[in-house]
Amino acid sequence: MKYIGKKVILMAATLIVVSFLVFLSFFVMSGDPATSMLGTQATPDRVEALREEMGLNDSFFTQYFRWAGSFLKGDMGISYSYRIPVESMIADKIPVTLALTGIAFLMLIVLAIPLGIYIAKYAGGIADRVIYVLNQIMMAIPPFFAGILITFLFGRIFKLFTPGGYVSYKDNFGQFIGYMFFPALAIALPKIAMAVKLLRSSVIGEVKKDYVRTAFSRGNRSNQVFYNHILKNALIPVITFLGMTLADMVAGSIIIEQVFGIPGLGRILLTSISNRDYPVVEAIIICMAFIVVSINFIVDIIYQLIDPRISTEE
Amino acid sequence: MRKKKKNYNLIAGGILTGMMLLLIAAGIFYTPYDPNAMDPASKFAGISWKHLMGCDNFGRDVFSRVLQGSRTTLFVALCTVFIGTVCGVILGAVTGYYGGIVDEILMRINDAVFAFPSLLLALVFISILGPGKNNVIAALGVAFIPSFARIVRGEFLKYRNMDYVKSAKLQGAGDLRIMFVHILPNAMPVLLSAIMIGFNNAVLAEAGMSYLGIGVQPPEASLGRMLSEAQSYLFTAPAYAVFPGVVIIWMVLGFSLLGEGIGEKE
């Protein structure tokens, strides 16, 4: 319990630091929001009036706390370019990005762990060597190029999906998942290669340890030793990796959404960046930070459940 | 398992990287065509002796553009890793060597930033600075500092109480000398493999950002940008997308094999 409490505090601290840094950098760099909101209609009087109205004449800390406070209540500000509340712009996009990342992560677990176990069990064999080479190449493929190749191969040649097509999860959930499948594959592929490689080397590292010899000498059969003893320990670094990867996948989905034309968080983030629509950018960054930090938190908890030594070490 | 074996990773990585660098170096002095010269007559021209990789939608020679683009990508990646390494080493060395309250605060901030995907961090910087090649270098460079600082700090923590450091101190060596002449060389192997990984991440990140249109700006060629242009013509001219993609894979593959080969040698 003490461990969980510590992690909750750390998570909150991380979010505060990130939100503070994000707010600070936009505060310093982004120029005057009132001027950019008024655009061509900016006269000194109007700007001054709007500044007063938006509370821009208050001190930095007052503004930060007001922003953070209203953010917690679900009020994320008004978009400069669309003049509508930010939360209404991004609320229905969050599930899209989450679904994409979630499916990719599921693929990663379902494909990488059995494959890694198989490769490690028969290390040195032909399958091992073939997959080693494939892995090296797969790790070097940028996800968006994988996306383009997948579009061409499965969309054009095998006609398994319509390139550029999309069905909202509100209209037809089944089809929505179908359209998420290939983009998720593009995100997952390089990560699968990394996970397989890590699991293999982790298992091979464990095999050499003394407890494995002891387990064998006590008359256990080799499958028993492999699954009950070796794998249990070998999976720990892989779980750490999976946690870090999940956070990475959230960011990676920004690019993949662009490749496949999926209207998720990444899409609005990019348009808002080119429109210099700072409230939207801020809100999306904080949302993604929240997702990433929550993932890290869950991984820490799972980690501790698997290996209770972790909490006493620190 | 395997006894003394040829270091295939090092050999393959060396060959791939060497060929790449040779091509890029040659591309500085000579490209078959002007990378930006448009020729409507050869729009989407196929692969031939005249155009080794065909032509793009404006009739520009893809081979010349790939040469220029890989040079840009390499330049951005090198600058990024340089910024990340230099700042990371200084930050990591100071915090790891001295410890104390500054270390505590900086590492807490570092932890918070480290938990954050570097692509997202770079996007925050780009949205503030605006798109462009130099801004991408700055954004990625800053985004890479935390990971380098973390690695270097770990190494300095490990070595700072070792006997050779103590004896150097007794001989009256200054802190700076101990940090950079005595400890840093010992941290080199770890730092070197981090640099290799960092370089690959930088290549992939630059290509990704240029693909999104917020990196290198036209007309300058960049591999990522070429891929995003090629995607619109994927079904009419698939070859256009293949070459820039393959060159990125080549570059990253070469460096990661080289990195692993160096790691095996240690």
Torsional class of B100: left (φ above 0), alpha (ψ -120 to 50), beta (otherwise): left
Q: Which of B56, B83, B43, B80 is nearest to B223 (CA)?
A: B56
Instruction: Give me the domains of chain B, ranges plus CATH numbers.
Output: 53-265 (1.10.3720.10)
| Nearest CA-CA distance, residue A282 and chain B, Å | 8
- Given this model, what pLDDT does residue A103 score? 92
- Given this model, what pLDDT does residue B81 score? 92
Same domain, A221 and A293: yes
Q: Which of A71, A90, A109 is the last residue of a domain?
A: A90
- Note the Cα B69 to chain centre separation in Å: 14
Q: Which of A61, A90, A119 is the last residue of a domain?
A: A90
Considering only residues B22 and A36, tell me which one the structure prediction assigns the higher pLDDT: B22
Residues 147-176 of A with CB under 8 A from B: 148-149, 151-152, 156, 163
Query: Does residue B25 sit in helix, strand or coil?
Result: helix
> What single DSSP character describes residue A217?
H
- Given this model, what pLDDT does residue B5 score? 65
| Nearest CA-CA distance, residue B8 and chain A, Å | 12
- What gap in Å lies between CA B21 and CA B191, rounded to an integer? 22
Contacts of A94 (CB under 8 A, 6+ apart): A265, A287
- What gap in Å lies between CA B229 and CA B222, rounded to an integer? 11
Same domain, A74 and A223: no
Name the most confidently modeled range: A195-204, A305-314, B157-166, B175-184: A195-204
Same domain, A253 and A135: yes
Same domain, A116 and A260: yes
Of A148, A273, A276, the CB nearest to B245: A148
- What gap in Å lies between CA A109 and CA A105, rounded to an integer? 6
Q: Which of A13, A52, A18, A15 is nearest to A32 (CA)?
A: A52
User: Two tokens at B257?
Assistant: 């094999």
Q: Which of A40, A57, A90 is the last residue of a domain?
A: A90
Same domain, A73 and A177: no
| Nearest CA-CA distance, residue A236 and chain B, Å | 19
DSSP one-letter string for A116-168: HHHHHHTTTSHHHHHHHHHHHHHHHS-HHHHHHHHIIIIIIIS--S-TT----
Under the banding of pLDDT at 50, 70 and 90, the label for residue A314 is: very low
Confidence check: pLDDT of A28 > 90: no
Contacts of A172 (CB under 8 A, 6+ apart): none
User: What amino acid is encoded at B97 in this protein?
Assistant: Y
* % of chain A at pLDDT higher than 70: 92
The ipTM value here is 0.79
Confidence check: pLDDT of A312 > 70: no
- Burial (0-12, 13-18, 19+ Cβ within 10 Å), B40: exposed
pLDDT tens string, chain B, 266 residues long: the values are: 455 567 788 888 888 888 888 888 877 777 777 777 666 666 666 666 666 666 676 667 778 888 888 888 888 999 999 999 999 888 888 888 887 787 777 777 777 677 677 777 788 788 777 777 888 888 888 888 888 888 888 888 888 778 888 888 888 777 778 878 888 888 888 888 888 888 888 888 888 888 888 877 777 778 888 888 888 777 777 777 788 888 888 888 888 888 888 777 65
Same domain, A223 and A241: yes
Of B128, B204, B231, the CB nearest to A29: B128
Same domain, A156 and A27: no
Partner B contacted by A42 (CB < 8 A): no
Q: Which of B253, B209, B251, B225 is nearest to B21 (CA)?
A: B251
| Nearest CA-CA distance, residue B168 and chain A, Å | 31
Number of domains forming the structure of chain A: 2
Same domain, A282 and A302: yes
- Given this model, what pLDDT does residue A313 score? 47
- What gap in Å lies between CA A77 and CA A90, rounded to an integer? 12
| Nearest CA-CA distance, residue B51 and chain A, Å | 23
Partner A contacted by B231 (CB < 8 A): yes
- Name the H helices within B212-237: 223-232
Confidence check: pLDDT of A75 > 60: yes
Same domain, A45 and A162: no
> What single DSSP character describes residue A85?
B
- What gap in Å lies between CA B93 and CA B72, rounded to an integer? 31
What range does the domain containing A29 cover? 2-90
- Given this model, what pLDDT does residue A14 score? 79
Peptide bond into A279 cis (omega under 30): no
Neighbours of B88 (CB within 10 A): 27
The reply to whether residue B115 touches residue A14, judged by beta carbons under 8 angstroms, is: yes
DSSP one-letter string for B72-101: HHHHHHHHHHHHHHHHHHHHHHHHHHH-HH
Measured between beta carbons, which residues in chain A are less than 8 angstroms from residue B127?
272-273, 276, 278, 281
The CATH number linked to A296 is: 1.10.3720.10
Residues 244-273 of A with CB under 8 A from B: 247-248, 250-252, 254-255, 258-259, 269-270, 272-273
Interface mutation target, options A273, A294, A314, chain B, most CBs of B under 10 Å: A273
The reply to whether residue B124 touches residue A22, judged by beta carbons under 8 angstroms, is: yes
Measured between beta carbons, which residues in chain B are less than 8 angstroms from residue A14?
111-112, 115
Torsion angle, CA of B4/B8/B9/B11, rounded to 10 degrees?
A: 120
